[in-house]
Amino acid sequence: MQGTWMVLLPAIIVLISATFYRNIVLALILGVLSAAFIATNFSLSQSLDLAFSTCKHLILDVNNLFLFAFLLIIGTIVSLITATGGAHAFGEQLAKRLKSAKDVEIATLLVPYLVFIDDYLNCLTVGHVMHPLTDKFKIPRTKLAFYIDAMTTPLAIITPISSWAGTVVSQLAMAGISINLNDRPVVISEAFYAYLKTLPFTFYSFIMIASAWIIASRRISYGRMYKHEQIAYETGNVFGGKQPAHEAPTLLNQRERSPWDLLLPIFTIVITVIGQILHQGGYWMLGGHNSLILAFQEKYNIFLILFTSGLLAAIVSFGFAAIREKILIKHFPQIITKGIKMMWVAILIVLLAWSFGLLLRENLHTGDYLASLLLNKISLNFLPLMLFLTTLIIATLTGSAWGSIAIMVPIAIPIILTFLNVNTPIPIAEISFLFPCLGAVFSGAAAGDHISPISDTTIMSDRSAGTHHADHVKTRLEYAWPALISTALAFIISGFVFQYHPALVAIISIASGIALCTLILYTLNKRK
């Protein structure tokens, strides 16, 4: 069925089922089964065998096992930080230095930079740390939830040392970006290096983060959020005049809390990951012969690096807590179990997304078919915008950034290569247009996950902030649309200036997007 419209059916089935059932896991299962069914010419037995063998192949891949283990370790670290009260201790230290509502809002944007290694950790920590302070200064819970959401997914996807990095890199590798010719790559590059080169083109992240900072520093307020702020200021009710919603997470440990319970695992992971990359990449200061840039381009196993770094961080953190008797050894199994429960659904989504993407690429060649349809119908200059909007719709409907990336990356890369009319495999240095296009996919995934009412980060943000879900969804969308429009402009610009140096393209596009976003925010502002 290759080369016919039927290769689009699995993606359509995923979108429809995710929208209808509000369950990305079920949607991806249906997508995998339907893709295998079509790939085997509607043979039930062969399709089940293909689906099972594809999943089995991915599960048994050693690098994938390292990634799964890393995600479980991250969940365990989040569980440990919750148990030891590290986030609460950090909030207590922070409270001593905040004197105004503006200080509190700016601090709310600063805390995520310390907990960037995982979006779940980010959501839970910021809400838990900041909601007593935002209540004190009569900042509505919807404003806190907006800040949490604005900094969670946009920050996670542009952080090379996070649970997101390994997942995104694996998708690029699955889609044919590899330095190993035995993998039959279509683009010759270390997948992690391609990810790093794409980060400056993830425009939505930079524009949304800049928007949040402008709103906090210039005290921008409009729409429903303005009404919530007026109610909070006049009555002290931070729930928009309603009864309190579900409260933010409460502390599980009251004994001798220390900010180091939060900071130690983060610093350990960051230092260990960077050190291992530079060592394996042959950085000259660590006994090699390469410069810093060349060290990141060399071949290294990012999945093994993430796993060993996370494992070391977990061992150090558990030891630090046990020595100080913050937790007892008998509590270790309970904490680890909670961490595993937190991440197992994410791991299942990743596995199903990998299987789905691999079937689209290797068996159905969906990307090639779409490229043939679009080749004579849209201009190359508008390809980044098209990829951004398509991924945005998918992520919004499915509520999953990882799922939408898995759908779009195997489709986008063949489209890009076909539009450029290049022979494969091709060195990544010869196709710089790949970066804004992949950045458009990442941006659409981050934006859709950010504004989707059914995404896990949306639900965790309003739970963490203790706000009503409907209020959070409505106020956040009003504050997000200026960044969405500005991001669309940035990708239009990148499509017309892509022939220049990539750094210049990124700077011009981001600057234009932030300028437009700032203009819109100042125009909408009601607070004088």
Residue 393 pLDDT greater than 50, yes or no: yes
Structure tokens at 412: 């986008």
Average pLDDT, the chain: 82
Q: Which of 99-103, 125-129, 380-384 has the lowest mean pLDDT?
A: 125-129
Q: What are phi and psi of 178, to 5 degrees?
A: -160, 155
By C-alpha distance, which of 404, 433, 428 is closest to 416? 433
Measured CA distances, 418 to 371, 424, 430 (Å): 6, 10, 14
CA 5, distance to chain mean position in Å, is 31
Q: Max alpha carbon distance in the chain (Å)?
A: 68
Sheet harboring 187-188: ordered strands across? 177-178, 187-188, 426-427
Structure tokens at 288: 């090699």
**Segment 269-276 mean pLDDT:** 82
* Rounded-to-5 percentages of helix, strand, coil across the chain: 75, 0, 20
Sign of the C-alpha dihedral computed for residues 231, 234, 236 and 241 taken in this order = negative
Residue 249 pLDDT greater than 50, yes or no: no
For residue range 430-463, list pLDDT tens digits in order: 888 999 999 999 999 999 888 887 677 777 777 7
Structure tokens at 358: 């691999």
Domain count, the chain: 1
Apex CA 120: angle with CA 395 and CA 207, to 5°?
A: 55
The Cα–Cα gap between 28 and 33 comes to 9
By C-alpha distance, which of 71, 68, 76 is closest to 315? 76
What count of residues does the chain have?
A: 528
What's the domain range around 24?
Answer: 5-524
For residue range 294-353, list pLDDT tens digits in order: 666 566 677 788 788 889 988 998 888 888 877 778 888 888 888 888 778 778 877 887
CA 431, distance to chain mean position in Å, is 25
71 with 120: CB under 8 angstroms?
Answer: no
Q: In the chain, what is the straight-line distance between the N-terminal and C-terminal CA atoms, in Å? A: 62
Residue 174 pLDDT greater than 60, yes or no: yes
Task: Please give the pLDDT value at position 296.
Answer: 61
Q: Which of 18-22, 41-45, 58-62, 66-70 has the lowest mean pLDDT?
A: 18-22
Contacts 24+ apart (CB under 8 A), 47-52: 50/359, 50/363, 51/355, 51/359
Mark residue 358 as left, alpha or beta (left: phi above 0; alpha: psi -120 to 50; beta: remaining). alpha
**Segment 188-192 mean pLDDT:** 86
For residue range 473-516, list pLDDT tens digits in order: 888 889 999 999 999 999 999 999 988 899 999 999 999 999 99
> What stretch of H or E contains 427?
strand 426-427
- Higher per-residue confidence, 208 vs 423: 208
The Cα–Cα gap between 10 and 22 comes to 17
Q: Which of 75-84, 142-151, 212-221 has the lowest mean pLDDT?
A: 75-84
Task: Please give the pLDDT value at position 390.
Answer: 86
User: Partners of 246 in the beta sheet?
Assistant: none
The Cα–Cα gap between 285 and 266 comes to 24
DSSP at 331: G
Q: Please state, for a pLDDT cut of 90, what percent of the chain lies above it.
A: 21
Look-up of token digits 């789905």: 356
Task: Please give the pLDDT value at position 295.
Answer: 67
Task: Please give the pLDDT value at position 124.
Answer: 67
Alpha helices, H only, 175-301: 191-198, 203-217, 223-235, 260-280, 292-297
At residue 254 the predicted structure's pLDDT band, cuts being 50, 70 and 90, is very low
516 with 486: CB under 8 angstroms?
Answer: yes
Task: Please give the pLDDT value at position 252.
Answer: 44
For residue range 107-138, list pLDDT tens digits in order: 889 888 877 766 766 776 787 778 778 888 88
Residues 6+ apart with CB under 8 A from 17: 23, 26, 27, 30, 31
**Segment 414-419 mean pLDDT:** 85
User: Partners of 426 in the beta sheet?
Assistant: 187
